[in-house]
Amino acid sequence: MALQPRNPDYRAAVERYVGAQEYLTLIGVALVRIEPGLAEYRVPYQPAIGQQDGFFHGGVIGGVAEGVMGAAAATLVEAGANVVGAEYKVNFLAPGRGTLLARGIVLKPGRLIVCRADVLAVADDGSETLCAIAQGTMAAVKPSRG
Amino acid sequence: MALQPRNPDYRAAVERYVGAQEYLTLIGVALVRIEPGLAEYRVPYQPAIGQQDGFFHGGVIGGVAEGVMGAAAATLVEAGANVVGAEYKVNFLAPGRGTLLARGIVLKPGRLIVCRADVLAVADDGSETLCAIAQGTMAAVKPSRG
Amino acid sequence: MALQPRNPDYRAAVERYVGAQEYLTLIGVALVRIEPGLAEYRVPYQPAIGQQDGFFHGGVIGGVAEGVMGAAAATLVEAGANVVGAEYKVNFLAPGRGTLLARGIVLKPGRLIVCRADVLAVADDGSETLCAIAQGTMAAVKPSRG
Amino acid sequence: MALQPRNPDYRAAVERYVGAQEYLTLIGVALVRIEPGLAEYRVPYQPAIGQQDGFFHGGVIGGVAEGVMGAAAATLVEAGANVVGAEYKVNFLAPGRGTLLARGIVLKPGRLIVCRADVLAVADDGSETLCAIAQGTMAAVKPSRG
């Protein structure tokens, strides 16, 4: 499945989309990869985004999964369109430690964009553990004609 | 269904559980109600937890829904037990503005605790909009015998 | 929230919608209640829809939950529109025995219709157990202008 | 991730597990592949499992996805253990026509087994369309010591 971006400047558009979400700055998300139908976020651990045992909070992990699916979806929408989350589902597989590496991919483009995400926890020694998996729907909202 | 707490000090236990999650402090969550099998969080809007349009970020709304289901579950576990999220699912119904009021309830207690959550957006004039709904599974982790 | 049907003949439309789904006949679904934004199905147990322990198969329970959300959604769409499932999520709370009574309700109408469902297992003595809960999204597909 | 079966006779055990589910016979499921942590079902279309437009009913597709995740999970449990569904989530990507080919894989083994499923629709000319994706949790229930 070769997904084709509809916006030739999709990279810049996704960077703006991610940069405009202050919450992603708050939790320390870095956008580290953009391809048509794919995006990756990196999030180093800090206590402020932890839960009671010193791991990433489930709400952070789920939100990162949702966010990276949104970024993956944003690679495929037309210029000026917005992407908003409609629904998502997360399963937690292992406690989140170290650095999160979240990858979102688009499985069905269109007005409703169906995505999956894998969230890996990367330890200091580079070993990776699958920490969470997600799937969800993003909605492309057309630019208003103003 | 009258749910019975197994820990007579469940209120203090839930307050400790919520207070120990630094992420909830980061995003400004206040625990405003605890009953057996029920918990409520309030979260006032601030730009740091927003998305590109000035509404609550979906990851925040989903995380608050997950967190309040965890707190509801924590009202029913035995003394010293921990509660961790296993999985959850969120549907977004309306943009989140104003103040979030999230209510989690337990539908099935046990080792795997099945919960639902409603997240209302409360406007300055007090009017309420159903912003998101969630359901998920929390796992009760027994205290280690140390 | 008083949900208003857009089709004055919504009852007949939902009956046709349900009657046209042969799968619902195969598994013995009876449509027992229709209100604006609400529908109920009854499904008596028979071995052909069971799993390895003599209970309703999870796929049947999940499908009934999905189907009754579709019927609830179908009460609110315009005349001639079709309703198709976009996504759903089910949690199982107790083994399904006796007769299933599934209730779907609409929480957000529109082109994407967000619903919840409760599936009760009703024993021969009339006692009810909450067997499964679901939430999902139904899409209203406009009638083609032919 | 090389998943190791705990039951040396896992193939026969999965065949018995699938064969004992009468519902799977009702809808015409054939178990066509078993590997450690993986299972595949084939389901040819027949009107009795269709919806109002002549496609596979969403409840069938979701149930097949749930069922094949159960079969994948059953490859990894100890001899005599049972597998029951705890929860699942399905997104529909395209109408189901032709023959369904559903593949379930295990991403996390254990007492709670986290799985994903892809459901392809295979047309008469052999072309494949991704029809639905799912993720869910199966619970391994230990054999009773009788």
CB count in 10 Å sphere of residue B45: 18
pLDDT at D1 over 80: no
Is this prediction's ipTM beyond 0.90? yes
DSSP symbols for B9-58: THHHHHHHHHHT-HHHHHTT-EEEEEETTEEEEEEE--GGGB-TTSSB-H
C-beta separation of B66 from B136 below 8 A:
yes
Write down the domain spans for chain B.
10-141
* CATH number of this structure's domain A10-140, picked from the four choices 1.10.10.60, 3.40.50.2300, 3.90.78.10, 3.10.129.10: 3.10.129.10
The CATH number that domain D10-141 falls under is 3.10.129.10
Q: What is the pLDDT of residue D22?
A: 95
Cβ <8 Å between B135 and C91: yes
Query: Which residues in chain A land under pLDDT 50?
Result: 146
CB count in 10 Å sphere of residue A11: 15
Q: What is the pLDDT of residue B144?
A: 64
pLDDT at D87 over 90: yes
C-chain CB neighbours of A89 within 8 Å are 89
State the pLDDT confidence band at D146, using cuts at 50, 70 and 90: very low
A-chain CB neighbours of C142 within 8 Å are none
For the segment D74-80, the average pLDDT, to the nearest whole number, is 97
Each residue's pLDDT tens digit, C8-53: 999 999 999 999 999 999 999 999 999 999 999 999 999 999 988 8
Q: Shortest Cα distance from A103 to chain C (angstroms)?
A: 21
Say if B42 is an interface residue toward chain A (CB within 8 Å): no
Q: What is the pLDDT of residue C105?
A: 98
Say if C112 is an interface residue toward chain A (CB within 8 Å): yes
- How far is the C-alpha of D100 from the C-alpha of D42, rounded, in Å? 6
CA B26 to chain CA mean position, Å: 15
